Structure 1
């Protein structure tokens, strides 16, 4: 990959993987190999993505996603409390049952959230026990619903979330997510 090559969906998947490598290096290596990309290409994709996000001449977060990922597979209006937004969904070949979702203010405004979610119409895993919470098996929303009431917690980086919840028997857990996908669970 050179700076002259367009930054596209493959590179974006490598960006997702780069942040996940801190928690799940073996899964990331397998996924990177599945994509046919070297570690150097993953680092370069991440470097270019960071440069795009920090550029003074950037066209905005939503415009960046549209230029990198193309038109969304689906775009729907959604109401969250008193706010109306647009949910844009893109396929992510590494995770065929998931979609990359960007929540933006109605009319193409500011981006409020960006993460992986379960694809519409696809059933998620049954989550009842800690053993069901395997890395890359479920999303923030799925864990929050399965173990309600869950407590959102601050993550260690902009693309990371933590969620406090209790499983059967009153066992407290904290799930760590990167780009909305479960990376690990700490019990106790």
Structure 2
């Protein structure tokens, strides 16, 4: 086993944060998560412990505010880039970090004055090629981000997910026969996890 997890040894902050991302994805795609953990040489228990500690940090002192840029930099270190980003009528900045598990993606946090991260998820890295999304068959787990699915199949309607860091998108896309199908895609940390035909009563 990797020396990262020897007794009294803590994994690096960026690795711990990748484990936090994986824990939220485990409910949807346990097989993909197991493969990622093997690639990282990390036991599943360590992933769950990393997630528990992250949640503990966010809830410390009965805190009710969303995560701040300090929470992310505490694990991820200095961002790879900081870019001005409009957010409604507020001035904001997009902080981006590399995530080695997904080299074509970046973890991006939109930070408003005061340091609060009003949105944080995975996006396509600058210069990286986006997937070609033409039919439902192209929507495989971990293949696309929220923005990519929304742009490929407009108009798309965003919906809140069933828990933190999950997101849903309603849209129409052609099936294998070219027939339009109403669908709902589910994302964890902005990365596609699965889709299904939309339930109008949902």
Give the TM-score range, shorter chain.
Answer: over 0.9
Give the whole-Å Cα distance in 1 for the aligned partners of 2:42 and 2:149: 31
2:68 to 61, 67, 72: 61
- Say if 2:192 is the partner of 1:182: yes
Moved more, 6-15 or 114-123: 6-15
Instruction: Give the superposed CA RMSD.
Output: 2.0
Give the whole-Å Cα distance in 2 for the aligned partners of 1:3 and 1:51: 20
Larger Rg: 2
The offset of 1:43, in angstroms, is 1.3
SS in 2 for 1:56: helix
1:154 to 150, 160, 163: 160
Give the whole-Å Cα distance in 2 for the aligned partners of 1:78 and 1:32: 34
1:33 to 38, 45, 69: 38
Structure-1-length-normalised TM-score:
0.93
Alignment deviations for residues 84-119 of structure 1 (CA, whole Å, 9 cap, x no partner)? 21000000000000000000114x522110100000
Instruction: Identify unmatched segments of 5+ residues in structure 2.
Output: none
Instruction: Identify unmatched segments of 5+ residues in structure 1.
Output: none
Is the CA contact 2:20–2:51 (under 8 Å) kept in the aligned structure 1?
A: yes
The offset of 1:6, in angstroms, is 6.7
Structure-2-length-normalised TM-score:
0.86
Q: Which residue of 1 aligns with 2:99?
A: 92
The offset of 1:83, in angstroms, is 2.8
Give the whole-Å Cα distance in 2 for the aligned partners of 1:167 and 1:40: 38
Is the CA contact 2:70–2:115 (under 8 Å) kept in the aligned structure 1?
A: no
Give the whole-Å Cα distance in 1 for the aligned partners of 2:25 and 2:123: 16
Aligned length: 187
Give the whole-Å Cα distance in 2 for the aligned partners of 1:67 and 1:57: 19
